[in-house]
């Protein structure tokens, strides 16, 4: 079935949809298997120990197996920013500095 779908997309010049469709199938498969995708943004690459510890903590907290999708954003300065299920937990130093700036500005 997928082969036919992709053939139709290519035939109609809609190749741009293939990645989106693949991503959605992957999301549905992970959901069916009880895997939660967690986006983690850090200022520098996590060590393997930190990655393992974070993964275990999130799995315990969420009650599901997690798949970390890691991104590097040096503007965070330090700490990390986690996105899961449309919710954001921003524990970055950049966020703390922005909060302090707002408080000091009055």
Q: pLDDT for 51-84, tens place per residue?
A: 999 999 999 999 999 999 999 999 999 999 999 9
- What span, in angstroms and rounded, lies between the C-alpha atoms of 97 and 78? 11
| Residue whose token pair is 């990655």 | 51
What is the rounded CA–CA span in Å between residue 31 and residue 65? 10
Q: Where in the chain is the domain with CATH 3.40.30?
A: 36-106
DSSP bridge pairs for 41: 71, 81
Is this model's pTM higher than 0.85 or not?
no
**Residue 48 banded pLDDT, cuts 50, 70, 90:** very high
- Across the chain, mean pLDDT equals 94
Question: Which CATH architecture is the domain 36-106 placed in?
Answer: 3-Layer(aba) Sandwich (3.40)
Specify whether the CB–CB gap between 77 and 62 falls below 8 A: no
């Amino acid at each position: 079935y997928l082969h036919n779908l992709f053939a139709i997309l290519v035939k109609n010049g809609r190749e741009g949809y293939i990645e989106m469709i693949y991503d959605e199938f992957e999301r549905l498969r992970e959901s069916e298997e009880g895997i939660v995708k967690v986006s983690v943004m850090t200022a520098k690459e996590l060590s393997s120990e930190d990655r393992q510890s974070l993964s275990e903590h999130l799995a315990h907290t969420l009650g599901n197996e997690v798949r970390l999708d890691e991104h590097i954003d040096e503007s965070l300065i330090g700490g990390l920013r986690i996105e899961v299920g449309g919710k954001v937990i921003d524990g970055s130093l950049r966020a703390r500095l922005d909060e302090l700036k707002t408080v000091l500005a009055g």
